[in-house]
Every structure is written in C-alpha cells, then in structure tokens.
Amino acid sequence: MKFTQYGEPMTRIPSITLCFIRATIFFNKRVSKHPARTFGTINIITYIKNNSSMLIRSIACLILFTCNTVIAGGFSYPENPNDRLIGKKPDQHHYIFAKHKETLLDIARNFDIGQIEILLANPTVDRWLPGRNTQVKIPNSRLLPDTPHEGIVLNLAEFRLYYYPEKIEGQGRQVITHPISIGRVDWETPLGKTQIIAKKKDPTWTPPESIRKEHEAKGDILPAVFPAGSDNPLGLFALRLGVPGYLIHGTNKPFGVGMQVSHGCIRMYPEDIEKIFPNVTVGTPVYIVNQPIKVGWSENILYVEVYQGLKDNKLSYEEKLDIALALIEQANNYQMPVIDGQALKLAIVQSDGVPVPVYRTNIYYH
C-alpha cells in the first residue's frame, strides 16, 4: 500500500518590522563575538562586516534570522499524492558554523538530527571538537518510507520516526519527523504493525529482571523503581505500544538518540516527544519497518536514499544494488528506466542517507 507525498519545510516568518528589530539586535550583540549560524550563506558575514550601513546590515541579518526559524520536524505535503521527497531539494545544501566548544552532538540536537546522521553528513569533522567557524552540513531532505501514511512510522534503518497527524480543516496535511534510538543487537526492536495502547505523563520505571541482572554484572545496581522526573530513563512522557514491554519514550541520555543503543524501546529527544505526546491518541497505528533503501519521486526526478543498515543486518553492495534496482523499477510503473548508474553506485557506496537523483523524465506519469 502506497500513499506518498512531497513537501517543503514549514517556516515561521514574523512581521517585517519585528524582523528588522530582531535582526539589528542580533547583529549588534552576536556578530562581533559569535559567527551567525546560517544555512549555507557562507560569505554573508564578511559582507555584513564590510558595509557600514545599518540598513544593509539589518537586511543581511534578517536573512540569517529567518533562515533559522524552520519549525523542527514539520513538513507540508505536496500537491502530487505520489511524490515522496520532503524538505528542500537535496542539491540545496545547508550549512551552519560551529561555535566555540560546540560538539557535533550539540548541533545535531539543535537541528533535530540523530548522532549517526550528522556524523555521516560530516565525515571529516571531529565529533567532539569541530572547532569554531567549522562548516557543518545539516541534512534537510529525505524520502518518506514505503508504508501507509498514517499514524506513526518507525524506520529502524534510518533511526527516524514519522508521524502523520490528522488533517486540520483549512490547513494542508503535515508529516512530522524526529530522530530516534532503537534496540541494540541483543535487544532488537520488533518489526510489524501495532498501535498505541496507553499514554503516560511523568512515568515511573520498574526495570525488568533481565536488565537488572545485566547492570548488576557490571557493578551497577539499579533501584527497584525509578521515580518520575527528568532523571528517569523513560523521560517525562511515554507511549505504550501493543507489543508487550515496548514504549516510545523520552530519555535522560539525549546524546544517544539516533543510535542502536536501547533495550528495544524507542527513545526520543525530550523536547520531541513532548511535542507529539498531546496529539497522539490511544489507538494510533504504529508501523515498525526496516527500510535501509528508499526510492521515490519529486516532480519528474526519481531519487534513491541508502542507509548503512543495522549492525546485525548489514547488506553487501550487491544486495543493496539488487534491492535498489527492484525499487526503481517498481517506482517507474514496473518499467526499468535508463538510470544514472554512477549516481546509484555512489549512493550505495556512501550509504549516508542523502537522497540522490538517478533518473529524470519530462513526463509526469508516475
């Protein structure tokens, strides 16, 4: 079953007057001490500093300010119901400048990205000390998984949750996406369809005996019950799945989000689960899939998006190629197009989760 859409990130643009006031304050207080964080306008800081006109400086800073007001995680749907790319076009690279003592993990959380995702996007940047003014690439586009587009979808291969809220009358539909942590090799997150069966704010946690014994073997004695609060491993919000013992919840260890580190549950940044918790209702369907290769259209361009795969389920280059070719043929009305073979090879070799164009047509028949 397919129901795919295309969209652009929703932006929050204040009034022009307020923008100019904020931009001027931003310049006077920040630019002289800390390089502005931009989405790729690398030379604009130099331009600002070299012009004495406050009006020009304010306009330039306004551009920087509004570029950073993207609502994290929220994307609108496309007009074409068969398109699957959300976010900006993949060739529109977005960058920011690292601050002094800021780690890649700090940046990842600021932009709602998981740890592995930001490391793959910046393979030459030091994880713990990028260095002041170092350019850091921010992933800003992705293909929707091949699932029904309803409820919650968890694609384990990309460490990401997709939430399809009910359409609000008078507004376009949205898809909301956030990074997640999943079960490690010896505590796998199960695949299949389930649903939300309960919600709990300020949950307590009673560690199962298996987890208590694991920690005890390492000299870490867990309490019988973790009380509610920010130090609770479940965080402040929990959504119970129909699969016994499994939850979608917050965490007291946010730097682990976007990795294969949990005991099977789905961990989210505390701020992310706080946003979706009020809107997710009991009975919401949940699809748990493992799709390391995704294929989808955006207008007349067919994209392939490849991930490394889970630790216990790594695919060879040949296996990835076979899957990608089958998905490309399927997406093109079961006719194999003349694709860009070099682009497909690069996407598989890098396996960095970036949508790569492999075919372009002048006919919108998909």
DSSP states along 290-339: --SEEEEEETTEEEEEE----TTSPPPHHHHHHHHHHHHHHHTTT-----
Range of the domain at 193: 180-288
Q: State the pLDDT at residue 121.
A: 95
57-71, 155-169, 206-220, 317-331: range with lowest mean pLDDT: 57-71
Residues 20, 116: one domain? yes
pLDDT in tens, 232-272: 899 999 999 999 989 999 999 999 999 988 777 899 999 99
Same domain as 336, residue 225: no
Distance CA 284, CA 282 (A): 6
User: How far apart, in Å, are the Cα atoms of 85 and each of 96, 154, 295, 354?
Assistant: 23, 17, 9, 11
Instruction: Note if 67 is an active site residue.
Output: no
* Same structural domain, 43 and 135: yes
Of 255, 288, 321, at which residue does a domain stop? 288
* Segment 17-38 mean pLDDT: 40
* Whether residue 68 has pLDDT greater than 50: no
pLDDT over 90, % of the chain:
57
What does the alpha-carbon distance between residue 290 and residue 304 come to, in Å, rounded to a whole number?
Answer: 16
pLDDT at 230: 85
Among 22-26, 77-81, 86-90, where is mean pLDDT lowest? 22-26
Q: Is 19 a catalytic residue?
A: no
Task: Please say if the pLDDT value at position 186 is more than 80.
Answer: no
159 found inside a domain? no
Domain co-membership, 42 together with 82: yes
Q: Is residue 168 in some structural domain?
A: no
pLDDT class for 170, splitting at 50, 70, 90? Answer: confident
With cut-offs at 50, 70 and 90, classify the pLDDT of residue 364. Answer: low
The overall average pLDDT reported for the chain is 81
User: Is residue 36 domain-resident?
Assistant: yes
**Better-scored residue on pLDDT, 312 or 334:** 334
Does 16 share its domain with 138? Answer: yes
Q: Mark whether 19 and 134 lie in a shared domain.
A: yes
pLDDT reported for residue 217: 78
What confidence tier does 205 reach under pLDDT thresholds 50, 70, 90?
confident
List the alpha helices (DSSP H) in 160-262: 209-217
Q: Which value, to the nearest 10 degrees, does the dihedral of the CA atoms of residues 16, 68, 112, 117 take?
A: 150
What does residue 286 show for φ and ψ, rounded to 5 degrees?
-130, 120
Q: Domain containing 221 — which CATH number?
A: 2.40.440.10
* In-domain check, residue 365: no
- Predicted local distance difference test score (pLDDT) of residue 237: 97
Same structural domain for residues 280 and 341?
no
216 vs 64 pLDDT, higher one: 216
State residue 202's pLDDT score: 95
Using 50, 70 and 90 to split pLDDT, how confident is the model at 185?
Answer: low
- Report pLDDT for 19: 42
Q: Give the range among 74-78, 118-122, 326-330 with minimum mean pLDDT.
A: 74-78
pLDDT of residue 330: 97
Whether 104 is in a domain gets the answer yes
Query: pLDDT value at position 366?
Result: 53
Instruction: Give the end of a domain, one of 237, 255, 288.
Output: 288
User: 258 phi and psi, to 5 degrees?
Assistant: 95, 20
191 and 128 in a single domain? The answer is no
Please say if the pLDDT value at position 14 is more than 60: no
Six-digit token string for 201: 């704010």
Q: Kindly tell me if the per-residue pLDDT of 62 is higher than 70.
A: no
Catalytic entry in 19, 61, 67, 265: 265
Q: Does residue 138 contact residue 112 with C-beta atoms inside 8 Å? A: no
Could you tell me the pLDDT band of residue 189, with boundaries at 50, 70 and 90? confident
Annotated active-site residue in 94, 178, 249, 263? 249
**Domain contains 149:** no
Residue 173 placed within a domain: no
Q: Indicate whether 338 and 317 sit together in one domain.
A: yes
Domain count, the chain: 3
Residue ending a domain, among 271, 288, 305, is: 288
Residues 117 and 229 in one domain: no
Residue 153, domain member (yes or no): no
- Residue 148 half-sphere exposure toward CB, CA atoms < 13 A: 11
Burial class from Cβ neighbours inside 10 Å (0-12, 13-18, 19+) for residue 226 reads: middle
Q: Mark whether 91 and 203 lie in a shared domain.
A: no
> 171: Cβ–Cβ under 8 A, 6 or more apart, which residues?
none
Are residues 184 and 207 both part of a single domain? yes
Least confident among 74-88, 160-174, 233-247:
74-88
Q: Which residues of 282-317 are buried (b: 16+ CB within 10 A; e: fewer)?
A: eebbbbbebbbbbbbbbbebbbbbbbbbbeeeebee
Which residue has better confidence, 170 or 320? 320
- Report yes or no: 292 and 347 within 8 Å, Cβ to Cβ: no
Of 18 and 282, which is predicted with more confidence? 282
